[in-house]
Amino acid sequence: MHFLISPAELETRRQRCRPVAEPLAAAPRQFVSACNLCGSETSCVIAYEDRYGLPLRTALCTGCGLIYLMDRFTQQGYSEFYCEGDYRKLTSAFAGSTATIEDLQADQAGYARNLVRFLDRRVPGGKGIRLLDVGGSSGQVAQELATRFGVEGTVLDPSREEIEAACRLGLRGIVGSAETWETEERFDLVLLCRTIEHLYDLRATMANIRRYLAPGGLFYCDFLDYLELCRITGAPQTVSKVDHCYWLTMQTAPRVFGALGFEIVSLHVVPKPQFVGCLLRQCPPAAPAPMPWSEVQGLIRELQQLVSEWQSSGAAPAGFPARVRRKVRRMAQSAVGR
């Protein structure tokens, strides 16, 4: 099985990240003992480090299936992490390239075009329709929707630099986050694009988003399927990262959203297999249904198999014939067993 990031490649990327990651390793941390969604303290640790090499454990809640960072920064630590620019420095070092505001806007423009096609004829028409883009970065997505649907766009983001860029596009910009922003305003459409993983308090933030929505309003939220990312990228330590406190999968998303007071109206799965968009509307929050133990076992077994295949994938060059790679893999597995 071929993965995008081999064990050797992961080590190379971590080496590039060390000048930024080492100071972050000394930042104050919080131990998360219970699942933010269902409150269960039963979990399975699936990674001891994140992709940057930071010693942060990732856990799978065996009560509801939510994947979360068991070790993470404090809320103040994350605020500084984003505001001081460490987030962009770390992601740029891992990628081996630096993303400018222009790069971000170009990426967002492509994302926005896909989103507009998905939301076409779903966004309410008429004057005074209001849009809130939570974690909207430099505003390209909100601008595209404002242009296409004639809505009034507001961007909420913790980065001052990116909010300044959004304001230059003619949007209303607010420096802050949905976890702390208090307002009496109501919006007909709320977006949470490529942001849910970054939330510090999933349950509290979603409660705020419910308050932001006008009666009959729609909520669009996307997520990266953790399991699918592992299938594509590699073992959990190639996927988990300090800035992603929570992860969903296609299997757990309906349960998670239902517990948070939203039901799925439509799914958006066109751009990439690991990317899932959900159009949601409010519903009475439901107590998270316990995940059957057979489903828990299935998730853990698949992750174990992925780790084994990922480790074996680094034992022989990709150009080797399949027969030789299989032999090397068996030798490696035999050596592990001794």
pLDDT band of 1, cuts 50, 70, 90: low
65: domain CATH number is 3.40.50.150
Q: What pLDDT score does 32 carry? A: 98
Q: What pLDDT score does 83 carry? A: 76
- What is the per-residue pLDDT across 16-33, written as a single tens digit (0 to 9) for each? 999 999 999 999 999 999
Kindly tell me if the per-residue pLDDT of 318 is higher than 70: no
Candidate from 48-57, 78-87, 166-175, 258-267 with smallest mean pLDDT = 78-87
261 in Cβ contact with 283 (< 8 Å): yes
Q: What pLDDT score does 107 carry? A: 81
- Residues 6 or more apart in contact with residue 237 via CB below 8 angstroms: 10, 47, 48, 49, 50, 51
Mean pLDDT of 124-152: 90
- Residues 6 or more apart in contact with residue 267 via CB below 8 angstroms: 276, 277, 278, 279
- Considering the domain boundaries, does residue 310 fall inside one? no
Mean pLDDT of 147-161: 91
Q: Which long-range contacts (CB under 8 A, 24 or more apart) does 296-303 make?
A: 296/44, 296/60, 296/62, 296/65, 299/60, 299/65, 299/227, 299/249, 299/251, 300/44, 300/46, 300/60, 302/227, 303/46, 303/60, 303/227, 303/230, 303/236
Q: 123 vs 127, 128, 189, 214, CA distance in Å?
A: 12, 12, 7, 13
Mean pLDDT of 213-233: 96
Kindly tell me if the per-residue pLDDT of 319 is higher than 50: no
Q: Which residues of 71-100 are buried (b: 16+ CB within 10 A; e: fewer)?
A: bbbeeebbbebbeeebbbbbbbbbeeeeee
Q: What pLDDT score does 272 carry? A: 82
Mean pLDDT of 121-148: 90
- Considering the domain boundaries, does residue 302 fall inside one? no
Q: What pLDDT score does 337 carry? A: 38
Kindly tell me if the per-residue pLDDT of 335 is higher than 50: no
- Considering the domain boundaries, does residue 101 fall inside one? yes
- Considering the domain boundaries, does residue 296 fall inside one? no
- Considering the domain boundaries, does residue 338 fall inside one? no
Q: What pLDDT score does 326 carry? A: 39
- Considering the domain boundaries, does residue 228 fall inside one? yes
- Among candidates 228, 224, 231, which has minimal Cα distance to 1? 231
pLDDT band of 315, cuts 50, 70, 90: low
Q: How open is the CA angle 223-242-34, to the nearest 5 degrees?
A: 80
Residue 229, domain extent:
1-289
- What is the per-residue pLDDT across 179-211, written as a single tens digit (0 to 9) for each? 889 999 999 999 999 999 999 999 999 999 999
Say how far apart CA 88 and CA 110 lie, in whole Å: 20
- Considering the domain boundaries, does residue 324 fall inside one? no
- Considering the domain boundaries, does residue 306 fall inside one? no
Average pLDDT, the chain: 89
Split into its structural domains, the chain has a count of 1
Mean pLDDT of 232-239: 97
Count of Cβ atoms closer than 10 Å to residue 127 Cβ: 7
